[in-house]
Amino acid sequence: MVNEEERQMDRNRQVAEHGGGGGGVFCCSDFHFLPEGCIADVVSFTSPRDACRLATMSKIFRSAADSDSVWKCFLPSDYQAVIDRSKDRDQAVLNSLPKKQLYYHLADEPILIDGDTKSFWLEKWSGKKCYMIAARSLSIVWGDTPRYWRWTSTSESRFREVAELITVCWLDIRGTMKMPMLSRCTNYAAYLVFKMTEEAYGFYNSAEAAVGTAGGKTETRLVYLDPDEGQRRRYRIVPRRFGLFAFISNRNPIVGLQQAPVPREEDGQYPKQRSDGWLEIEIGEFFTPEDDDGEVQLSVLEIKGGNWKGGLIVQGIEIRPKSNAE
């Protein structure tokens, strides 16, 4: 009769042969004869996903794969400095957690830092750093003019305030992020996170979204903030020609509203619905080199159309690693 140890060895061989789907993760029965610290050292060179898989192998693997020494390697090297920028009560909770729990807490629950002007979290399966810059930390033209913008709060936002557009003809939103705050050698994408009120209007023209990095390199794309992807139409006041009897009976020239669809460029990008109920539009992509200490500049501009627009609610600009599925 096959004993438990032989069955375990057989399972380990299967993982070694097939790699567990982790792309390079391997294991064999000989590992069970190594000290737990040695196993932990090996696991720390894998990934959070692989560590969770290895933890199912046996008790000694679970103990090693769940250890603080392993999960500290998966956390960003400056994680403590980021935590120190959060609220005091959050610091106390976060610093009390074992490293594995801390990792998943930061992956599942963004923390507010820098006086609630940014939020920080980790991409769950890579440990890469992600941020959202609050609307209050963005440069919004006329943002402090109550006639054009107002600052309000909503329970749906992670920040105390969001910016609500009353009306402007010049939409100009900009933000910056220092490269060293991000994970090195990573492809990132930036997104404007926003909503539209039911009374939103005027967003039928394309906006210009741009990402600028060190050396003056700027990539620009056209985007549309209209979440209905062009279903809305603008109305123009135009004279209508009527028959003779209609003109005589009314005594005055008749002016009416004519619905006029506006053509849209095929290369434009449209908003996507997020799981948190907000919309996002990709501003652009950029790469974080190993030795770049500059900053990335982000902008969304709609200044060429000259039409008045309103009803936009801005939560912030989110920066996260670019997913292959996006």
Q: What is the pLDDT of residue 105?
A: 97
- Three-class HEC string of the chain: CCCHHHHHHHHHHHHHHHHHHCCCCCCCHHHHHCCHHHHHHHHCCCCHHHHHHHCCCCHHHHHHHCCHHHHHHHCCCCHHHHHCCECHHHHHHHHCCCHHHHHHHHHHCCEEECCCCEEEEECCCCCCEEEEEEHHHCEECCCCCCCCEEEECCCCCCCCCEEEECCECCEEEEEEEEHHHCCCCEEEEEEEEEEEEEEEECCCCCEEEEEECHHHCEEEEEECCCCCCCCCCEEEEEECCCCHHHHHHHCCCCEEEEEECCCCCCCCECCEECCCCCEEEEEEEEEECCCCCCEEEEEEEECCCCCCEEEEEEEEEEEEECCCCC
Give the pLDDT score at 206.
92
pLDDT in tens, 177-223: 999 999 999 999 999 999 999 999 999 999 999 999 977 789 999 99
Q: Terminus-to-terminus CA distance in the chain, angstroms?
A: 51
Distance CA 93, CA 36 (A): 28
**Mean pLDDT by 10-residue block, N- to C-terminus, for the chain (326 residues)?**
50 46 49 76 87 84 88 96 94 96 96 96 96 98 97 96 97 97 96 96 94 87 81 42 40 42 58 95 94 93 92 98 78
